[in-house]
Structure 1
Amino acid sequence: MDKKRRKKTSFIAVTQNRKKIDTFYSILELIKTQEQCGITSKMYKFLEEFGMGYFENHRFDGLRISVFDVMLKKDFLFEGYLSTDFLELSFLIEGEQIIKIDGIDEDLAYESQECYLLYLSKIRGSVSYHKRKRFKEVKIRMSPDFIKRHRLDEEYNILEKYALLQLQDNILRPLCPKTQEILSEILTDKRKGLLKRLFLESKTLELIALKLESSTKPKQITTLPIDNMVKKLYQAQHLITSDLSIQYSIQQLSRQIGLNDFILKKEFKILFGKTIFEYASELRMNKAKQLLQHSQKPIYEISELVGYKNSTHFTAAFKKIEGVTPKKYRQAKRLL
């Protein structure tokens, strides 16, 4: 009987008024299940009593990818024991968690625009969520078989290097632009069956590669402990990259993130190596070039998508940076 119990992942939830709920799935309603080519995908919605939002789960070959997007109506504390070993990638796009783990003295405040990579082995603890705050997270769990199949532990010693107790003082990292781009692809993907499997596995490996690559680079500002200033700068960067159709002024960005505009301009350039204007312009031009080369969208529509009020302003900006008009750029690329 004890052996059977150990194999299960045991988590219960307690609401703010200490009302106990049997499992996480007790607050969800299954609305869609799909099984095809070895991948099982399930979509749940939160019961109206507990929150507004959804939970999506994809499983295959030792890989589980979950997406949370919910506004909770009650404070929740999930506590319990994880009896299995796995490598976990988490990306908190919006919201906050307070994580308590047995054996670690300090609580972990996991906040918006942060991520972590951890190897978790038979841990006990709790995670708390606050009501009336949107929570959006992409979480990826990889089994020992998945890790072995892709040789993730052979060269980088990933299981030891990213073990929880090894990293307990240095767990969280801000989301970089490339990570945000991959997460956006995962969240908007509509593939099914085999194509879904191949897509999710490739994106998981791409995210792992980004993590391992950053860990081998010489120490820079992005590998220092994340203070409040750095978090705010990454929030500004996320605002810029998340919707290129919006051109934020320095004053708008500073109000959104709660940072003085002079300090924002100065520290942004130190962290990202470009002024806010240079950074945003480069993103807009790169996006415009992709659309000009790989889509049939008219130039006026592309100009709106990359944040210009009209095609005349867009054409002038594009020519100043690229040396040719958008029309001539598109024509030249199609001749190649």
Structure 2
Amino acid sequence: MTLFLSVPEALSQHPQAEQTRSIRQPWTIPLIDAAGKSQGYRQSVDLRPGLNVLIDDYTLQDDLVVDYGEDEPCDPYQYLESSFMLSGHNRREEIQPAHNFFLAKWRCSDGCQVHWQAGERVLKFDIHINADLFETFVGEQFDALPPLLRQIAQNPQPSQHRFRHVQPTTTAMQSAIHQILHCPYQGLTRWLYLEGKVIELIALRLDQIREAPEARALLCMTGDRRDRLYQARDILLSRLDNPPSVLELAREVGLNHNKLKQGFRQVFGTTVFGYSQLCRLEKARQLLYEGHLTVAAVASEVGYANAAKFASAFKRKFGITPSACRSGEKLR
């Protein structure tokens, strides 16, 4: 069964919520599961004009689709987001747990759907920031940012340019998010504390952009090369039981193998092998959760000839054994 959480439906039931939405007033949409197996919520709060925090927190026994509404055109606007995937996987953003992305682009629609996978604890923390406020925060260091990011943030004219930068989430970032989610204060002290921690997160994220050489390289990546990288990704997904080597994959998509390795990490935030390994284990998790195949059969299905190696890799990734997953034990 697939669960649905509809933002437009929640707004239609409480139309005054969006109209009277005020600063520092959290707005929460609970996840409703009639069977009582899954739980969680989606919460949004504006810390100040132009600075918004969004939290998705779910414990899922079934797949979940979060619907933002129809993908209808709207007036273009500058969209800057820093998104931290603490746990869980969705089929839209292609970001691994313990990684994050910074995105800057002109946005022309608000509608989309995000699909979260069953059997997982989902925790995602997003920061949305107005372009003018972003420039104010950065101040004199604005010129040190990558040219494309500066162009999107400053240019008042809509464009097709898009800046996306993927990196691992550092210990300092994880600590700041933990402090935000477990803030011990109340009242004005709470809101000043939360705003300070969110600004700290923005600073840590911009420092990654400034220091990471792949951020600059990604700006120069052609559309054709990016298309070939996505083609390589699709080949890996279609051949999980017998993944090609990097050299074979490079030949299939027409890229030099070094450019494939470098570009794959820039776009997907991990190596070719790491991505293939992740997808194989994710497919294994789904098959085990369904319970129709034995552990040995699942290992074979995702390309592991050695069941012991499969069990070891699965436990490293999810914190439980394949047999425990098949028995319905929750992932850690």
The TM-score with structure 1 as length reference comes to 0.50
Question: What CA deviation, in whole Å up to 9, does each residue of 1:188-247 have, x standing for no partner?
Answer: 11323322332222222212222222223364899953126667999xxxxxxxxxxxxx
Maintained 8 Å contact 2:105/2:162: no
Q: From the superposition, tell whether residues 23 and 256 of structure 1 become closer, same or farther in structure 2 (CA, over 3 Å).
A: same
1:227 aligns with 2:271: yes
- Post-superposition shift, 1:160? 3.3
Provide the alpha-carbon RMSD of the alignment.
4.6
Code of the aligned partner of 1:154: F
51-60 vs 71-80, which deviates more? 71-80
Unaligned runs of 5+ in 2: 153-158, 215-260, 279-310, 319-332
Unaligned runs of 5+ in 1: 1-14, 100-107, 235-251, 260-336
Question: What CA deviation, in whole Å up to 9, does each residue of 1:149-206 have, x standing for no partner?
Answer: 32458334578327596556x6322211111111111111132332233222222221
Provide the residue aligned with 1:141 in structure 2.
128
Provide the residue aligned with 1:196 in structure 2.
190
1:222-261 matches, cutoff 5 A: 224-225=265-266, 226-227=270-271, 256-258=315-317
Maintained 8 Å contact 1:28/1:44: no
SS in 2 for 1:112: coil
1:98 aligns with 2:83: no
% identical aligned pairs:
15
Provide the residue aligned with 1:130 in structure 2.
116
Supply the distance in 1 between the matched residues of 2:86 and 2:196 (Cα, whole angstroms). Answer: 21
Maintained 8 Å contact 2:101/2:166: yes
SS in 2 for 1:109: coil
Provide the residue aligned with 1:62 in structure 2.
50
Maintained 8 Å contact 2:144/2:210: no
Supply the distance in 2 between the matched residues of 1:53 and 1:27 (Cα, whole angstroms). Answer: 20
Supply the distance in 2 between the matched residues of 1:142 and 1:49 (Cα, whole angstroms). Answer: 36
1:154 aligns with 2:159: no
Code of the aligned partner of 2:58: V
Supply the distance in 1 between the matched residues of 2:86 and 2:201 (Cα, whole angstroms). Answer: 15
Code of the aligned partner of 1:146: L
Supply the distance in 2 between the matched residues of 1:97 and 1:257 (Cα, whole angstroms). Answer: 20
SS in 2 for 1:39: coil
Q: From the superposition, tell whether residues 150 and 24 of structure 1 become closer, same or farther in structure 2 (CA, over 3 Å).
A: farther
Greater share of residues in strand: 1
Aligned residues: 215
Provide the residue aligned with 2:39 in structure 1.
52
